[in-house]
Amino acid sequence: MRGNCTVIEIDSLEFHYQHGEFHLSIPHMSLAQGEKVAVIGPSGSGKTTLLNLIAGISRPQQGTVTVADQLVSAFSDARRRDFRITNIGFVFQDFELLDYLNVQDNILHPYRITRALKLTHQIEQRAIELASGLEIADKLRRFTGELSQGEKQRAAICRALLPQPQLILADEATGNLDPRNKGKILDLLFENVESHDATLLAVTHDHELLPRFDRVIDFLDFRSEAAA
């Protein structure tokens, strides 16, 4: 994914769900490699939908989504999934942890479902280091049903960061945390992004954190631009 300065490029995108009224129009949007961009906007405005389109979880009816020079919107379902697992660290708003696995196995899960990621002793060590950094090292053997919301969130962040993805999509990753942990999570996300020359797109409601980002995309402006 290196060597190109544009990491995300969206053009003439039109998306609607199979059911319901919601419609998302994005004439153009791009993120350069290394950028740390916040996405803000009211609940229901389509922030999660946008991240799903970038990650290839959803597919637009019209237009293109290009991630690291790959036309993700044209890939088959299987190829989009592999691309996502190997290139994108996604911290889901609802965590998407597997309740039949303990925290450690959740964090290592991406390595067990694709051949593109190789699970080594070093990776297992790094998983423990990440968990320590997020103060959940003592929870690695617990099942996720036995965790608080904040602990689940930190487990989801560990899982997203472990493969050192070039693109990190974080959907309200600081939402369930106390102020001290919010700052810590953002420090950790930024550290990971900066040390790997990665790119971060983070949905947040924490307006006090916005000055730390390079740029803010306000979904309201975005949508009125789209409507214009």
CB 20, min distance to ligand ADP, A: 4
Q: Which two tokens stand for residue 186?
A: 């953002």
Least distance (Å) from Mg ion to the CB of residue 153?
A: 14
Strand residue runs (E) in 3-72: 6-16, 23-32, 36-40, 62-67, 70-71
**Residue in the structure block whose two tokens are 């617990």:** 142
Among 2, 4, 12, 17, binds ligand ADP (CB under 6 A): 17
Q: Which is nearer to ligand ADP, 17 or 178 (CB)?
A: 17
Residue 43 interaction partner, one of Mg ion, ligand ADP, none, beta carbon < 5-8 Å per kind: ligand ADP
Told to check if 49 binds Mg ion by CB under 5 A, we report: no
Strand order in the sheet with 23-32: 23-32, 6-16, 62-67, 70-71
Per CB under 5 A, 48 contacts Mg ion: yes
The overall longest dimension of the chain from CA atoms, in Å, is: 53
Distance in Å, CB of 84 to Mg ion, minimum: 18
Q: From the CB of 186, what's the least distance to ligand ADP, in Å?
A: 19
Query: Which of 93/199 has CB closer to Mg ion?
Result: 93
Decide if residue 204 touches ligand ADP (CB under 6 A). no
Q: Which of residues 36-95 bind ligand ADP (CB under 6 A)?
A: 41, 43-49
> Nearest distance from residue 11's CB to ligand ADP, in Å?
20
Three-class SS state of 178: coil
Q: How far apart are the first and last CA of the chain?
A: 34
DSSP symbol at 166: S
Pairwise CA distance, residues 132 & 120, whole Å: 19
Cα–Cα–Cα angle for 103, 34, 11, nearest 5°?
A: 100
174 binds Mg ion (CB under 5 A): no
Q: Which residues bind Mg ion (CB under 5 A)?
A: 47-48, 93
Kindly list the residues in this chain that would bind ligand ADP in the complex (CB under 6 A): 17, 19-20, 22, 41, 43-49
